[in-house]
Structure 1
Amino acid sequence: MQLVDRLFRTDEWRTVPNAITALRLLLLPVFVVLIVGERYWSSMVVIAIVFLTDFVDGFVARRTNTTSELGAWLDPVADRLTVIVVVLAFWLGGLLPGVVFLLILLPDIVLSLVALIVFGGASFPVTWVGKIRTALIFVGLLMLLVGRAVIAQWRDADDQLDVLGQLLVVVSSFVLLLGLVGHYVAAVLYGRDLARRWRARRGGAAA
């Protein structure tokens, strides 16, 4: 309750950047439905909008000086939730193996539990590593989606397009691997931040 009061009453939270972030979150279940239903071309439009809003909200907030405490808390939470839901959709749609979903989910679960147990909850800081990680994962998934869509539509009609689709799938695997590495680098940095906060709190308590 204190967290809700602080986020919604400390400053003006009804801003355009927060509305953009909310739009991103509202599009996530739409994307899941489209992927599971094999509506690949439509899902490309949705994931492209989701990807763009991930960067537009922060840009608008800085350019218009409409940052808020809610936005500072919501943006990194939305980043992680977006990655998890999008990868989950690809797994449910049979486009990614379950191990990729688990590898992405694992560090967030562990760090969130540590933050909850030790601090009663702690926000995920927005870092350039995290933003690059998110971009690589999104680009890799978008390439995979385009490749699968091309293969599904032109497998028996156009050999050249079929080869292009296969190539996109292969390249997407490499980009996703880079994004996964960045995901764990971001997790290590956040773990270090939690450890720093814990040492500072212990030092304050000892004093």
Structure 2
Amino acid sequence: MDSSPIEPQQNRWLTAPNVVTSLRIIGSPVMIVLAYQQQSMAVAILVAFLVFTEWLDGVLARTLHQHSALGARLDTVADAAFYTSLLIAIGLMFPDVTVREAWWIAAAIVSYAISWLVALIKFRTLPSYHTWLAKGAWLIVGIGIVSLVADWSRWPFRAAMLCVVLANLEAIAISLVIAEQQVDIPTIWHACQRQSGGTSSPPDAPH
């Protein structure tokens, strides 16, 4: 986003990227239902689909020039719905695995909660940075969950949780660096550059 007025169509909720993001919000709780029914393969397929929507909404936002603050905040809600539903689903399907991987899961949850808390205290709103690291973590999470559900290996899942922690630490750092709340900040380097440049308006970035 730049400092110029947002085009009228970007103020609308009903845009292609927002519809795709809403699919992720609606689809995430379905994981819990499938997990309760012990449909592990169906959960794995749904996770893969929801990870795909995370990539797709960004592509649509850039291609159609429909990235906006509204879309960024909706994406944050979708991320929260996905991760919360995912952890509940894993707990329902694999309680033993959940206990075994408790420290990794706890690290991801705690770091996520802290990133939200820092933004809420400083800006009174949730962080919507959608960094490159966070987007990369989405892909690794998808691979890790499929590997865990299919009982291939636990290490991709652990790598995914580590990436989530790193992404959350970067989000915390961004919140501490910037003076005013912003959306769509690719990296902590970008946040430092903008702050040192005396501007609070981030350049165009993925939805």
**TM tier, smaller:** 0.7 to 0.9
Q: How does 1:14-93 map to 2 (within 5 A)?
A: 14-93=14-93
Q: Does 2:160 align with 1:179?
A: yes
Q: Structure 1 CA distance, aligned partners of 2:38 and 2:174?
A: 40
Partner residue of 1:103 out of 104, 107, 122? 107
Aligned residue number for residue 12 of structure 1: 12
Deviation at 1:66, TM superposition (A): 2.2
Q: 1:187 to 1:144 in 2, by over 3 A?
A: same
User: Which blocks of at least 5 consecutive residues in structure 1 are unaligned?
Assistant: 1-8, 148-167, 201-207
3-state DSSP of counterpart to 2:150: helix
Q: Structure 2 CA distance, aligned partners of 1:10 and 1:131?
A: 22
Number of aligned residue pairs: 171
The one of the two structures with greater contact order (alpha-carbon pairs below 8 A, sep at least 6) is 2
Instruction: Report the structure number with the largest CA radius of gyration.
Output: 1
8 Å Cα contact 2:115/2:169 also seen in 1: no
8 Å Cα contact 1:40/1:145 also seen in 2: yes
3-state DSSP of counterpart to 2:130: coil
Q: Structure 1 CA distance, aligned partners of 2:149 and 2:63?
A: 33
Aligned amino acid, residue 109 of structure 2: L
Deviation at 1:106, TM superposition (A): 0.8
Partner residue of 1:115 out of 114, 119, 122? 119
8 Å Cα contact 1:13/1:68 also seen in 2: no
Aligned amino acid, residue 197 of structure 1: I
3-state DSSP of counterpart to 1:97: helix
Aligned residue number for residue 184 of structure 2: none
Kindly provide the CA deviation profile for residues 44-73 of structure 1, in whole angstroms up to 9, marking residues without a partner as x: 332221111111111111112222321122
Partner residue of 1:142 out of 115, 122, 146? 146
> After the TM superposition, which of the residue ranges 18-27 and 110-119 deviates more from structure 2?
110-119
Question: TM (normalized to structure 1)?
Answer: 0.73
Question: TM (normalized to structure 2)?
Answer: 0.73
> After the TM superposition, which of the residue ranges 49-58 and 138-147 deviates more from structure 2?
138-147
8 Å Cα contact 1:31/1:86 also seen in 2: yes
> After the TM superposition, which of the residue ranges 190-199 and 52-61 deviates more from structure 2?
190-199
Runs ≥4 residues deviating over 6 A: none
Deviation at 1:10, TM superposition (A): 7.6
Aligned residue number for residue 151 of structure 1: none
Partner residue of 2:129 out of 125, 128, 143? 125
Q: Output the aligned Cα RMSD.
A: 2.5
